[in-house]
Copies of this chain bind each other. A is one copy, B any other.
Amino acid sequence: MSDRPAKDKLFDAFASVAKVLGSGRRAEIVDVLAQGERPVDEIAEEIGQSIANTSQHLQQLLRAGLVRTRREGTRIHYRLSGTAVTRLWAAVREVASEHVAELDELAEAYLGDRAALDSLTRTELTNRMAAGDVVVLDVRPEREFRSGHIPGAVSVPVGELAGRMKDLPHGRIIVAYCRGQYCVFADEAVRTLREQGMPAVRLEEGYPEWAEAGLPVEAGAPRKSGAPG
C-alpha cells in the first residue's frame, strides 16, 4: 500500500502551518501584519501581550514560515512572508464566519451592533470612485496608511477624527475603511461622522482584501511635518 510514516510526516508538515495560526494571539499578529511590517514592541502593544511572550509567538510564526524579519539597527521588523499567507488568513475567517456557530455573537460583542451601519462592497466602491461622488477615508494608524492605501484616500486615524472633521470635504458621501471586516476603526469613524450629521458608510472589508483582489494601491504619501525619512 502506501508509505504511512512518510505520508504522516508530509501531512504533519501541512498541519504545522495551520497549527501556528491556531492561537488567538498569533492570529491577531497575522491580522496586524497583514497591514504591513511592524517591530516587535508595537506588535506586543497591539495584541496586549508582554514583549517576551510576543517574541515567542513571532518565533513560532517564523519557524513555520509565515513571517520574515528585517533588521533595522536595534529593531527587528516582522512582515508576512507572502500573499499566500494573506489568503490563508482570509480563508480561516471565511470558514469561521460560515461555520462557527458563536461567531456572530462574538463579533457583535466586540464590534457592537452593525444593523444601523451601511457598508459598501469593493465593486460598489470602485464604481462610485469612478463616478467621483465619494470621499475615501483611511482611518487606520498613519503608518499603515503609509505602507499602502486605496489611491486618493485621505488619512485620518480614527483617534484624530473628531478634531479634524472640518478638514473633510462636504457634499459627498464619506466611505471609511480600515483593517478588515472585523476591525472596529471604520465602525467608530462612521458613528462619529453620523453624529455630526455627515453622510458616512464603511467599506465592508479592509485594505488587505482590496490589495489582494489586485485593485490599484498607493504607498508613501503624507508625512507628518518633522518626521524623519
Contact = CB atoms under 8 A, between A and B. Distances in A.
Interface of A: 2-4, 6-28, 31, 48, 64-66, 81-82, 84-85, 87-88, 90-96, 98-103, 106-107, 109-110, 182, 184
A210 B110 CA distance: 38
- Chain A binding surface, main DSSP class: helix
A24 B8 contact: yes
Contacts of A18: 18-19, 21-22, 27, 92
B14 A23 contact: no
Nearest to A102: B13
Q: How many protomers of this protein does the assembly include?
A: 2
Given A4-B48, A92-B18, A106 B9 contact: yes
B15 A27 contact: yes
Contacts of A19: 18-19, 21-23
Contact of A93 (B6, B14, B82, B101): B14
B106 A17 contact: no
